[in-house]
Amino acid sequence: MIGLYVHLPFCLRKCPYCAFYSVSGAESLFPAYVERVIQESRLFSPRPVDTIYFGGGTPTVLPPTLLKDLLATLLERFPCNGEITVEANPATVSPASLQILRRAGFNRISIGVQSLKNEELQFLERLHSAEDAAQTILDASNAGFENISADLMFGLPGQTPEDVAFSADQLCNLPVSHISAYSLSIEDGTPFAVRSPELPEEEAEREMYYSLRRSLEGHGFLQYEISNFARPGFEAMHNTNYWLCGEYIGLGAGAHGYTDGVRYENTCDLKAYISSTDAVANKTVLTDADRYEERYMLGLRLRKGIRYDGNSNVPRLIRAGLLEKHGENIRLTERGMDIANYVITELII
C-alpha cells in the first residue's frame, strides 16, 4: 500500500498550543505554492496510490477551487480509487466550499472540532464556536461526505471527565464516523510553552481519557489506535498505512515521506520551499534496526497490535499486565496504553 500526503502549511491564525508547521497571512503565496507542489510531484514516477491526504496547517484556508485543481492535477499522475481526505477548520469552510471539495473528489473530511463547549474553545483560542463546528459537520454531510472525522482535545486545565464525555456525546449524535482524540501537550516554541497553563494531574487526565473512551464505545465507536476511534469500516486507511510502516510520498514544505526504504523530510521554510528545486532537507536510509524499532513504535499503537516475533522482553511485560497475546499478535493492554511509550521502549532496548 502507498499513500500520498500533501502538506498545506497555512492557517487563518496560529492556535497557541500548535507546533505543526504552518503560517498565517501568506495568502499571496498560495498560487506559487500549489505550482511548486505540482512541480515536486513530477519528481516521482506516475503510479496509482491507495490514499491521498491533504493535511496542514489548514488546507481549507486555500480557495476550494485551488484545492480542486491541485487534486485534479495530482490524480493525473497518481490515480486513486481509495480514501481522499482533506483537513478542515470550521472557521474556513461554508456549505458552498464543502460542495466544491466533495465534487472535486475528496471523499473524507477531517474537521478540527476540538470541543463542543464554548469555554474550552475560547481557552484554545479557536476561531469558531461549538455551534459553528456542529454546523460544519452537518454542512459536510449535506455536501455528500459520508466519511467525516472530527478531532477532539482533552486534558485541558479545569476540564472534567464529564466535560469530555459531553463533547464526545454531542459529537456522536452528529453524522461523524471517525474521531481522533488528543490530550493537550505543551509544545516547545508555542505561546502555551511560555504561558504554561496548569495541566491536570496525570491521574485526572487518564480519567478524562477513560470517560471519552466509554462514551465513544457506548455510541458504537471502536478504538482501533491509541488516539483513534471509528464506526466499523471507517478506520482511517491513510493513517493506518503510517502505523503499519507502509510507504507514502510526501509533498510540500515540512512534509515527510517514506519511499524505497528512505525517509525524507522537506524544508520547513515556505519561501525556501517555493524557490527550491530540491526541497528535501533530510534523508535517512532506514537500517534493519530502524525498521524493527518503527514496527514497534508505530504498530503497537494499533489495537490489533503486531505479530509476536519472539522478542524476549514480551513475557515480562505480559506478566506486568502491560501487554497481552491476541491471536498471533501481541498488543497493549488498557493499562499498557496509558504508558505506551514506556512499554515500547522496554521492547526495543
Ligand X SMILES: C[S@@+](CC[C@H](N)C(=O)[O-])C[C@H]1O[C@@H](n2cnc3c(N)ncnc32)[C@H](O)[C@@H]1O
Residues that bind ligand SF4 (CB under 6 A): 11, 14-15, 18, 20, 22, 56-58, 89, 112
Exposure letters 167-177 (e unless 16+ CB within 10 A, then b): bbebbbebebb
With CB under 5 to 8 Å by kind, the binding choice for 14 among ligand SF4, ligand X, none is ligand SF4
Q: Does 94 bind ligand X (CB under 6 A)?
A: no
Q: Which of 40, 50, 87, 346 binds ligand X (CB under 6 A)?
A: 87
* Residue 334: all three cell numbers together: 488498557
Tell me how far, at minimum, the Cβ of 311 lies from ligand X, in Å: 30
Q: Does 185 bind ligand X (CB under 6 A)?
A: yes
Tell me how far, at minimum, the Cβ of 243 lies from ligand X, in Å: 16
Q: 3-state class of 142 per DSSP?
A: helix
Residue 78 or residue 192: which is nearer to ligand X going by CB? 192
CA of residue 109 relative to chain centroid, distance: 11
Q: Does 170 bind ligand X (CB under 6 A)?
A: no
Q: Does 1 bind ligand X (CB under 6 A)?
A: no
Closest C-alpha among 309, 300, 307, 298 to residue 245: 298
Q: Does 163 bind ligand X (CB under 6 A)?
A: no
* Residue 131: all three cell numbers together: 455551534
Q: Which of 184, 208, 237, 302 binds ligand X (CB under 6 A)?
A: 184
Q: For residue 251, what are the CA distances in angstroms to 69, 195, 223, 325? A: 16, 34, 30, 38
**Binding residues for ligand X restricted to 16-45, rule: CB under 6 A:** 17-18, 20
Q: Does 125 bind ligand X (CB under 6 A)?
A: no
DSSP single-letter state for residue 335: H
96 CB-contact burial (10 Å; exposed 0-12 / middle 13-18 / buried 19+)? exposed
Q: Which of 112, 200, 252, 257 binds ligand X (CB under 6 A)?
A: 112
* Residue 101: all three cell numbers together: 471539495
Rounded distance between C-alpha atoms, residue 237 and residue 228, angstroms: 12
Bridge-based pairing of strands 256-259 and 262-266 is antiparallel
Residue 3 or residue 56: which is nearer to ligand X going by CB? 56
Tell me how far, at minimum, the Cβ of 99 lies from ligand SF4, in Å: 22
Point out which residues bind ligand X (CB under 6 A).
17-18, 20, 55-56, 58, 87, 89, 112, 114, 151, 153, 182, 184-185, 187
